[in-house]
Amino acid sequence: MSDTRYLFKRGKTWWVKISVPPSLRPALGYDLRRSLRTQDLETARQARSQVVAEFRERIARARRELDGPTDPKPVQADGYQITAREDFSDVTYLLELSHPMLAEAAQPGQFVLVISHEHGERIPLTIADFDREAGTITLVVQAVGKTTREMQQRCVAGSTLHSVVGPMGIPSQLENAGKTVFVGGGLGVASIYPQVRAAQEAGAYVIGVVGFRNRELIFWEDKFNRYCDQLIICTDDGSAGIHGLVTKGIEAAIEEHEDIAELVAIGPPIMMRACAEATRPHGIKTTVSLNPIMVDGTGMCGGCRVIVGGEMKFACVDGPEFDGHQVDFDHLMGRLRRFIEQEKQALETWAEGLTGAAAP
């Protein structure tokens, strides 16, 4: 008899069929079959093996599925790798993360939300730099509360963060490429950097005003110099540059240049308010970047609500940049103190845990 294994004829056409083990029938049916689109037995024999192999594979796959994947695909991301770290001072540190998609999408003025470990909170951090080619983003963090201090200890190159999501917020929009002053105070120095670079690349005349407590804490001076037409450094103690706050630097800049079109400031709320007050008499458009407490950062909790021009806005989706002359800074500063007690408690418990763990 001729070899018709796995073959059967329907009308005049040859088909392949292999039967399915009973346990898999609920998923696959009695059998798997497919037309070979030929009436010639010899051709059908030749075509047969490939189809049979494919069906076998499908049955094997169904069996694996039935047994359950040995390791169901993790629903949560495995983590985001830290590729480099640099310490600017004993409280300020830089983390570089590998995240090509995020690096591709990031724009000046945007931020990310980070969860450092499974039990961690979601904290917003401004994107301080991004490198599309290397696929990295840079965050600069100041160790103030429990989360950021813990990150200071745990986040070394090669370690991972539990979750990083972004880029969040509306990218900053420089309305004109005239003379623009970029002000960064403390941590805000890092946050303002992508805007400085973008403005310079867009052809603006860029004046940078950066403030630090003292000479030792200065960072990224070279980076700023590369993209600023003029860089004004201010230190609280006068150990470098202008002696005083960034507002002194702003005043100096305004005095020197009559045609400043815009000022962008990032830093602690009290500094941003001072900047807005410094420009108000001169009618210079002033943009500030707000960083209130957020939970989800996608507009769902309203924890980040701020008052701008008498209207409620959500900093995460309507901002983070707003007209500095319209922002209600008292409201912002009040709301930033919401969890002060809990933060203290978290820090204490954490510190106790550390000393406890250190004991033998």
Partner 1 sequence: MGGGFDGRGRALIGAGKLATETKKTIRTIPQERTPIPEQPASDRIGNFDEVALGYRPEDALREAERCLLCKEAACVPACPVAIDIPGFIERISEQDYRGAYDILTDANLLPAICGRVCPQEDQCELVCPVGDVLEPVAIGRLERWIGDMGLEEGWHNVPHIEPVPYRIGVVGSGPAGIACAADLAKAGCEVTIFEALHAPGGVLRYGIPEFRLPNEVIDAEMENLTRLGVEIQCNTVVGRMFTIKQLRTEMGYDAVFIGTGAGTPRFMGIPGEALHGVLSANELLTRCNLMGALQFPKYDTPITIGSHVAVIGSGNTAMDAMRVSLRAGAEKVYCVYRRTRQESPAREEEITHAEEEGVEFHWLTAPVELLDDGEGAVRAMRCIRMELGEPDDSGRRRPVPIPGSEYEFEADTVVYAIGTTANKVIGQTSELELDERGYIATDDDLSTSMAGVYAGGDIVTGAATVILAMGAGRTAAGAIKDYLKIRDTEVVYQPDGAKEGPFGFDPRERNHVRLRLPPDHTVPEPALSGSGSQEG
Contact between 43 and partner 1 by CB under 8 A: the answer reads: no
CA distance 125 to 144: 13
Smallest distance from partner 1 to CB 98, Å: 14
- Beta carbon of residue 254, minimum distance to partner 1 (angstroms, whole number): 32
By CB under 8 A, residue 317 contacts partner 1: yes
Q: Which of 177, 305, 325, 326 binds partner 1 (CB under 8 A)?
A: 305
Smallest distance from partner 1 to CB 101, Å = 6
Distance (Å, whole) CA 276 – CA 316: 21
Alpha-carbon distances of 132 from 23, 103, 104, 110, 321, rounded to whole Å: 51, 5, 5, 15, 23
Listed in sequence order, the residues at least 6 apart from 141 whose beta carbon sits closer than 8 Å to its beta carbon are 92, 93, 94, 95, 125, 148, 151, 152, 187
Nearer to partner 1 by C-beta: 215 or 337?
337
Q: How far is the CB of 57 from partner 1 (least distance, A)?
A: 12
Q: How many alpha carbons lie under 13 Å from residue 221 in its C-beta half-sphere? A: 13
Residues 335-354 that bind partner 1 (CB under 8 A): 335, 337-339, 341-343, 345-346, 349-350
130: contact with partner 1 by CB under 8 A? no
Return the bridge partners of 114, or none: 123, 164
Question: Should residue 56 be labelled a site residue for partner 1 when binding is judged by CB under 8 A?
Answer: no
Q: How far is the CB of 156 from partner 1 (least distance, A)?
A: 20
Tokens of 17: 């069929």
Residues 120-157: b if buried by 16+ CB within 10 A, e if exposed:
bbbbbbbbbbbeeeebbbbbbbbbebbbbbbbbeebee
Using CB under 8 A, which of the segments 195-203, 217-225, 255-263, 299-307 binds partner 1? 299-307
Q: What is the Cα–Cα distance from 311 to 322, expressed in whole angstroms?
A: 12
10 part of the interface to partner 1, by CB under 8 A: yes
Stretch that binds partner 1, among 126-134, 242-250, 272-280, 298-306 (CB under 8 A): 298-306
Cis? peptide before 320, omega within 30° of 0? yes
CB of 352 to partner 1, least distance (A): 10
Of 102 and 288, which has the nearer Cβ to partner 1? Answer: 102
User: Please, which of residues 161-220 interact with partner 1 by CB under 8 A?
Assistant: 162-168, 170
Coil vs helix vs strand at 317: helix
Verify binding: residue 55, partner 1, rule CB under 8 A: no
53 binds partner 1 (CB under 8 A): no
Please state, in angstroms and rounded to a whole number, the distance separating the CA atoms of residues 357 and 10.
75
Q: Are the beta carbons of 114 and 101 closer than 8 angstroms?
A: no
**Taking CB under 8 A as the rule, does residue 331 contact partner 1?**
yes
* C-beta of 201 vs 311, nearer to partner 1: 311
CB closer to partner 1, 154 vs 282: 154
Q: Which span sits near partner 1 by CB under 8 A: 84-92, 115-123, 181-189, 227-235?
A: 115-123
The amino acid at 319: G
358 binds partner 1 (CB under 8 A): no
- Bridging pattern class, strands 92-98 and 205-212: unpaired
Q: Is 307 in the site for partner 1 (CB under 8 A)?
A: yes
101 binds partner 1 (CB under 8 A): yes
